[in-house]
Amino acid sequence: MSSGLHWVIVVVVVLNILGCLWLVRLANRSPGAKGDTSSVTGHTWDGDLQEYNNPLPRWWLWMFYISIVFGFIYLALYPGMGTFKGLLGWSQLSQYEAEVERAEREYAPLFARYAATPLPELAADPRAVAMGQRLFVNYCSACHGSDGGGAPGYPNLTDNDWLYGGTPEAVETSILNGRNGMMIPFSATLQDTAVAEVVAYVRGLSGQTVDPALAAAGEARFAQNCAACHLPDGSGNQALGAPNLTDNIWLYGGSEAAVTATVSNGRNGTMPAHRDLLGEDKVHLLAAYVLSLGGGE
């Protein structure tokens, strides 16, 4: 924050508080003597019913005074006056870090108790699975769905189709380190007709109904442009995260339009790493829950 903005905030805050104090003092005028009409507002009803501008009740005024004093004390102790950090040195970040540290001290032994248990055994433990489910709902369900069923662009975790492998070790590694998948676009190297041929061949690999002539022409183009990642038979390469094209399970959709968009424009998928966010013990439980959904190898 610049020095100029700092003083603008300070001036605005102080003037607002002083303005409130002035309004309270204005409302605290002593009433006039009996019969004195100086406090009459001029509003009259029913002939002689007049409205007076009398002071506020004392208890109400004291509430305002206390609020103003509280405001000054608060601004002296906590941030609120530009760059002034307050006498207590409080900040949102320091409070967050303190709460995280307290939670780690309280719950770390609970997670550590399961850290040495093999994942297949942990996936069969109802209590461990319940703990992993709560972690999943908080950190994974936004992308993979609350049931792990996935969504377009986000893998289904309940089947046996895994981009990087479904072994317990591979699943845990994916959560710990994240994944970065990329399919290059071919619109610059393949004409529309060539793209259509590749799409027909690829969709035919998974048993979909396609134009036989286009599929036959697409086989050679697939071997030249796609087999290096997806392997010559289209079964995929988990070392690269290249999907299996023969099982009719599609991350971005298997319709002609969806596959055409994938071949033409490419795809970029990112799974964020959770090692620093959750730590290895929590990820171990989270991986156990993912395996309990029914997928995995």
In the chain, domain spans: 3-30+38-77, 100-178+272-292, 182-271
- When computed from its CA atoms, the radius of gyration of the chain, rounded to whole angstroms, is 34
227-281 confidence digits (pLDDT tens): 999 999 999 999 999 999 999 999 999 999 999 999 999 999 999 999 999 999 9
Instruction: Examine domains 100-178+272-292 and 182-271 and report if their fold is the same.
Output: yes
Torsion of CA 124, 128, 132, 133, to 10 degrees: 70
Is 216's pLDDT higher than 90? Answer: yes
The structure's pTM equals: 0.70
| Residue-level pLDDT at 38 | 58
User: Using an 8 Å Cβ cutoff, are 286 and 132 in contact?
Assistant: yes
55-109 confidence digits (pLDDT tens): 778 888 899 999 999 999 999 999 988 888 899 989 999 999 999 899 888 888 8
Is 224's pLDDT higher than 80? Answer: yes
Backbone torsion region of residue 165, taken as left when φ is above 0, otherwise alpha when ψ lies between -120 and 50, otherwise beta: left
In degrees rounded to 5, what are phi and psi of residue 78?
-125, 165
Is 7's pLDDT higher than 70? Answer: yes
DSSP-assigned beta bridge partners for residue 222: none
% of the chain beyond a pLDDT of 90:
71
User: Using an 8 Å Cβ cutoff, are 56 and 28 in contact?
Assistant: yes
**Max Cα distance, the chain (Å):** 107
How many alpha carbons fall within 13 Å on the CB side of residue 62? 3
Residue 111: closest CA among 291, 231, 235, 288: 288
Q: What's the CATH code, domain 100-178+272-292?
A: 1.10.760.10
What average pLDDT does the chain have? 90
Separation in Å, CA 295 to CA 81, 158, 287: 55, 5, 11
First to last CA, the chain: 54
CATH architecture of 182-271: Orthogonal Bundle (1.10)
| Residue-level pLDDT at 296 | 63
